[in-house]
Amino acid sequence: MTNWIDIGALEDIPQRGARVVKTARGCVAVFRTGEDEVHALDDRCPHKGGPLSEGIVHGGSVTCPLHNWVFDLNSGVAKGADEGQVATYAARVEDGRILLDATDLVARSAA
């Protein structure tokens, strides 16, 4: 089951940049690559908790601003010699809007 939520316009995120979505499970970083693909990952480096949304986006990767760990935006897996993985969430662009699958992100209220 998916729960696509419109979180904003593609233009709201700079190319090769990111913005943060606040959720009940912590911050999620939504990245926009140089080719206008979007990817959503936990905004927390498994190494020392650095905010990945503040990193430099290059190709399909992001570099953590604290200690330069590099993560694949598709898989969330650390590249090179570093070992670790960040949780990823489905995201896509439709008619210029960014849709995020919030199934695992929204509060499981009693509704």
Partner 1 sequence: MQKLVVIGAGMASGRALEHLIEADPTAYDITLFNAEPRGNYNRIMLSPVLSGEKSFEEIVTHDEDWYAVHGITTRFGEKVVSIDRDRKVVIGENGEVPYDKLVFGTGSSAFIIPCPGHDLPGVVAFRDLEDTTAMSEASATPGARAVVIGGGLLGLEAAAGLRLRGMEVTVLHLAGHLMERQLDPSAGYLLQKDLERRGITVLTEASTKEIYGNGKVEGVRLVDGTDLPADIVVMAVGIRPQVQLAKDSGLAVGRAIHVDAQMVTSDPDIYAVGECVEFEGNVFGLVAPLYDQAKVLAKTLLGQDDTFVVKQLSTKLKVTGCDLFSAGDFADGDTREDIVFRDPARGVYKRLVIEGDKLVGAVMYGDTADSNWFFGLIKDGADIAEMRDTLIFGPAFQGGAQADPLAAVAALPDDAEICGCNGVCKGDIVAAIKAGATDLGAVKATTKASASCGTCTGLVEQVLAVTLGDDFKMPAAQPMCGCTDLTHEDVRRLIKASELKSMPAVWQELGWKTKDGCHVCRPALNFYLLADWPLDYKDDLQSRFINERKHANIQKDGTFSVMPRMWGGITTPDELRAIADAADKYGVPTVKVTGGQRIDLLGVKGEDLPAIWKDLNDAGMVSGQAYSKGLRTVKTCVGTDHCRFGTQDSTGLGIKLEKALWGSWTPHKVKLAVSGCPRNCAEATCKDVGVICVDSGYQVGVAGAAGMDVKETERLADVKTEEEVLDYTRAFIQLYRENAKYLDRPYKWVAKVGLDWVKQQVVEDVANRQALVDRFELSQSIYRKDPWAEHVAREQPRYAPIANLVQEAAE
Residue type, 90: A
Alpha-carbon dihedral angle through residues 71, 73, 40, 66, given to the nearest 10 degrees = 30
Min separation Cβ 80 and partner 1, Å: 10
Considering the rule CB under 8 A, would residue 92 count as an interface residue with partner 1? no
Considering the rule CB under 8 A, would residue 10 count as an interface residue with partner 1? no
Per-residue binding string, partner 1, 46-65, x by CB under 8 A, is --xxxx--xxxxxx-x-x-x
Tokens 């570099």 found at: 63
Residue ranges in contact with partner 1 by CB under 8 A: 3, 5, 7-8, 12-17, 19-24, 27, 30, 34-35, 48-51, 54-59, 61, 63, 65-66, 68, 70, 98, 100, 102-103, 105-109, 111
